[in-house]
Amino acid sequence: MSLSIGRTCWAIAEGYIPPYSNGPEPQFISHETVCILNAGDEDAHVEITIYYSDKEPVGAYRLTVPARRTKHVRFNDLNDPAPIPHDTDFASVIQSNVPIVVQHTRLDSRQAENALLSTIAYANT
């Protein structure tokens, strides 16, 4: 059974990749992640645009989330059209051709006591 749930446009207003990490790689590298659920019957073709406070937006970063699947993408791993700089505030808009659900997760491992944050993104109605 498939579900058509979610929205086609999401925003994460807060983003920051710390400049360094503490702990074994790759599990404990400080990172920002966009978690995407596509519960529908059609592949989701997703575009991510990154916004900065002091320069023009960069994007689109393109990816596909197959039907009835989930994909977790670290912003640290996005390189095309340009890597996202560390130690820089950013925000993101995620657009899809079909409804998806988007969650934002951050691991900050600058200290031995790691901090993990996860929240649902803002869904544009």
Residue 86 · residue 34 · CB < 8 Å: no
Predicted confidence at residue 28, as pLDDT, reads: 57
Q: How far apart are the first and last CA of the chain?
A: 25
- Does residue 19 register a pLDDT over 80? no
Predicted confidence at residue 87, as pLDDT, reads: 87
Predicted confidence at residue 121, as pLDDT, reads: 73
The sign of the CA dihedral 78, 82, 86, 90 is negative
SS3 53: coil
How would DSSP label each residue in 96-114? Answer: EEEEEEEEEEEEE-SSSS-
Question: Can you tell me the mean pLDDT for 1-12?
Answer: 86
- pTM recorded for the entire structure: 0.84
Residue-wise pLDDT tens digits, 80-124: 999 999 889 899 999 999 999 998 876 555 555 555 555 667 677
- Does residue 2 register a pLDDT over 90? no
Predicted confidence at residue 22, as pLDDT, reads: 58
- Does residue 39 register a pLDDT over 60? yes
How would DSSP label each residue in 74-98? Answer: EGGG--SS-PPPTT-EEEEEEEEEE
Residue-wise pLDDT tens digits, 54-75: 999 998 999 999 999 999 998 8
Domains of the chain, each with CATH number or no CATH: 7-123 (2.60.290.11)
Distance CA 65, CA 71 (A): 6
> ∠ CA 7-44-71 to the nearest 5 degrees?
95
